[in-house]
Structure 1
Amino acid sequence: MSMSSNVNRNLMTVPPQVPRPERPPRVASPAVERLRHSLKTGLTSLDTFWKEIGEQGLPLVEDCGDPALRVVTFLWRGGDELADVILVANKIADPHSYEQNRMERLPGTDVWHMSYRMGSDWRASYAVAPLPADGSPPTAAPDVMVEVRRSRALAAAAPADRDAVARWFDALRHARPDPMGRERLDERWSVASLPDAPPQPWLAPRPGTPAGTVREYPLTSAVLGNTRPVWVHEPAERPAGGAPWPVLVLLDGDDWHALPVAPLLDRMTAAGALPPTLCVMVPALDFATRTRELACDDSFTAFLTDELLPWLGGEYAITGDPDRTVIAGQSLGGLTALYAAHRAPGRFGRVLAQSGSFWWPNPVGAGGETERLAGLLADSGALPSRVHLSVGLHEWTLLEPSRRIRDVLLRRGVDLDYVEFNGGHDRACWRAGLPGALLSLTRDRPRGLQARP
Structure 2
Amino acid sequence: MKPTTLPCATTSSAHPLFQQNDLGSKNWWNQVQHIGNPLILKKNHRTHCTFLWRCQSQAEQIFIDIYSQTPSIYQQWNQFQQIENTDIAFFEIELPHDWSGSYVLVTTTDLAPHTTDAAVRRQWWQKQLQQHAQIDPLNPYPAYPAQVARWVNQVHLTEKEENYTQDLLIQYRSLQWQSTLLETTYPVDLYQTSDELSANRPLILFLDGQVWSQHLPILQQLQTLTDQNKIIPACYAFIHSINSEQRCFDYGCRDLFSQALVEELIPYLKQQFGLDNSKISLCGQSLGGLCALHTLLLYPNALHQLILQSGSYWWSDYSQSHFLKDQQQRFLELIPQHLQRIPTDRNILIRTGQCETDMCEDSEQLYVHLNPFVDTQIHTFAGGHDAVNWRHDLIASLQILLSS
Q: TM-score range by the shorter chain?
A: 0.7 to 0.9
- Equivalenced residues, count: 380
- Secondary structure, in 3 states, of the residue corresponding to 1:279? strand
CA distance in 2, matches of 1:399, 1:422: 12
Q: Deviations over 1:137-190 (max 9, x none)?
A: 9xxxxxxxxxxxx9xxx9xx9886666556545644322011010212315221
1:37-436 correspondence runs (5 A): 37-39=19-21, 46-65=25-44, 67=45, 69-78=46-55, 80-91=57-68, 92=70, 94-97=72-75, 99=77, 101-132=78-109, 168-169=125-126, 171-172=128-129, 173-186=131-144, 188-195=151-158, 203=164, 205=166, 211-221=170-180, 223-235=181-193, 237-239=194-196, 242-259=198-215, 260-322=217-279, 325-361=280-316, 368-370=328-330, 371-372=332-333, 374-376=335-337, 379-383=340-344, 385-412=346-373, 414-424=375-385, 426-436=386-396
- Structure 1 portions without partners, runs of 5+: 1-26, 138-149, 446-453
Going from structure 1 to structure 2, the CA distance change for 1:391 and 1:185 (only over 3 Å counts) comes to farther
In the alignment, residue 414 of structure 1 is paired with which amino acid?
Answer: D
Going from structure 1 to structure 2, the CA distance change for 1:161 and 1:434 (only over 3 Å counts) comes to closer
Question: Which residue number in structure 1 is paired with residue 5 of structure 2?
Answer: none
Going from structure 1 to structure 2, the CA distance change for 1:129 and 1:416 (only over 3 Å counts) comes to same
* Displacement after TM superposition at 1:130 (Å): 2.6
- Secondary structure, in 3 states, of the residue corresponding to 1:30? coil
CA distance in 2, matches of 1:28, 1:273: 50
Please report the TM-score for the alignment, with normalisation by the length of structure 2.
0.79
Over the residues paired in the alignment, what is the CA RMSD in angstroms? 3.7
Greater relative CO (CA pairs within 8 A, separation 6+): 1
Going from structure 1 to structure 2, the CA distance change for 1:88 and 1:404 (only over 3 Å counts) comes to same
CA distance in 1, matches of 2:254, 2:121: 36
In the alignment, residue 275 of structure 1 is paired with which amino acid?
Answer: I
2:394 corresponds to 1:437: no
* Displacement after TM superposition at 1:124 (Å): 2.5
2:7 corresponds to 1:30: no
In the alignment, residue 59 of structure 1 is paired with which amino acid?
Answer: P
- Secondary structure, in 3 states, of the residue corresponding to 1:125? strand
CA distance in 2, matches of 1:440, 1:396: 25
In the alignment, residue 232 of structure 1 is paired with which amino acid?
Answer: L
Q: Deviations over 1:289-316 (max 9, x none)?
A: 4334323444333322222221222222
Q: Deviations over 1:339-381 (max 9, x none)?
A: 3234444332211111111112169997641124543465545
In the alignment, residue 293 of structure 1 is paired with which amino acid?
Answer: D
CA distance in 2, matches of 1:421, 1:120: 12
CA distance in 1, matches of 2:249, 2:344: 24
Question: Which residue number in structure 1 is paired with residue 3 of structure 2?
Answer: none
* Displacement after TM superposition at 1:60 (Å): 2.1
- Secondary structure, in 3 states, of the residue corresponding to 2:361? helix
The structure 1 segments of at least 4 consecutive aligned residues displaced by more than 6 Å after TM superposition are 363-367
Going from structure 1 to structure 2, the CA distance change for 1:225 and 1:129 (only over 3 Å counts) comes to closer
* Displacement after TM superposition at 1:211 (Å): 3.2
Contact 1:29/1:71, CA 8 A, preserved across alignment: no
CA distance in 1, matches of 2:338, 2:97: 35
Please report the TM-score for the alignment, with normalisation by the length of structure 1.
0.71
